[in-house]
Amino acid sequence: MRLTFIIILLSTISACKLSQTEVSPIANKTAPYFFWSVDWHPNKDQFIVGGMQDTLRLFSSSNFQLLKNYPYKGTITKTKWHPAKNKLAISVQDGKSYSTILNLDNDQSIKLDSISIDGARAIGWNHSGDLLAVGDYEGYLTIFDENGIFQKRINTNQKSIIGLDWHPDENLIVAIGEKITLYDYKSDSLKHKEDRSKEILMLCVAWNPDGKFFVTGDYGDFEYHYPPLLQYWTYDGQRIKSIEESKAEFRNLKWSNDGELLATASEKIRLWNKDGDLVAEETTENLLWGIDWNEDASKIVATDGKGKIIFWDRNLNRLTELQY
């Protein structure tokens, strides 16, 4: 059963691409070249992009110039900057590389042990940056200190963990897969919330910066008439609102640092307010995968399944795009 579920998870790389009929503009490339993740540096004028191109790319966000390539075999599924230091946490699948902590001051990396051989898709620092959580394809949460030293491993009783986010002020993790798991690090306790009567894979989750609620985005299941949902949840996991708006899965979502706007990546880029009202949306050529805000919430960057990196302002006026 677990193997079947892993196959389904890995197939999300190519699933839901029916809307993407274009031929990739990358010459002599026949494999998919999705950019899974993009993260704006919290303290520097830089951003980082990872995905299926065997390369982690560091860019300047002032002139959009490529600053450095870091060779990285396998699929980079998620990247997360340390909240205060020039360190990057990287989760990987495919078994070709290991999830790591990369120090960009000296280019030294620390391998993260005790993670499923199938890889991981969820990673994140706590608010103070002294703890790092990795959620893997066997349903385990593994906690490390900021230097990559193992702290504990928790069986969440999920088939796989696809996304996670730490509470902005507490050592509380919301982890998602086929259900919602709330894990309290201090008490070492788990609480589960079932999403729907049928297991629907959730792909992304984010606490609002005020810490009072979080939001999830899921895959949906069109075969069984389950649309992709954006859902708002209370602090303790009670559903507030379900929104049926997207025609494709919600691949990623991110709150602005002021907590006023939620950006979601799907077949369109959309902005939502704290009440779950749609504020703005813009059509994109391809399905979006990664998404993030800059520090002052004046700009948004997103990546897609055709090697594009696209920038908008806060009102979704397109600024520029890069192609790789």
Give the pLDDT score at 32: 57
Half-sphere exposure of 203 (CA within 13 A, CB side): 28
Contact indicator for 118, 155 with CB cutoff of 8 Å: no
pLDDT per residue rounded down to tens, the chain (324 residues): 443 444 345 444 333 332 222 222 233 344 557 899 999 999 999 999 999 988 999 999 999 999 999 998 889 999 999 999 999 999 999 877 899 999 999 999 999 999 998 999 999 999 999 999 999 999 999 999 999 999 999 999 999 999 999 999 999 999 999 999 999 999 999 999 987 778 899 999 999 999 999 999 999 998 888 999 999 999 999 999 999 999 999 999 999 999 999 999 999 999 999 999 999 999 999 999 999 999 999 999 999 999 999 999 999 999 999 999
Q: What is the pTM of this model?
A: 0.90
Distance CA 217, CA 243 (A): 10
CATH node for 2-11+105-323: 2.130.10.10
- Pairing type for strands 55-60 and 66-71 reads antiparallel
Instruction: Please state, in angstroms and as integers, the Cα–Cα distance from residue 166 to each residue in 83, 126, 132, 143, following that order.
Output: 12, 5, 9, 12
Backbone angles phi, psi at 155, to 5 degrees: -85, 110
214: amino acid identity, one letter: F
Closest CA to 238 of 213, 274, 275, 211: 213
Contact indicator for 88, 100 with CB cutoff of 8 Å: no
Instruction: Please state, in angstroms and as integers, the Cα–Cα distance from residue 65 to each residue in 68, 279, 321, 322, following that order.
Output: 9, 31, 12, 10
Q: Which two tokens stand for residue 135?
A: 């959620």
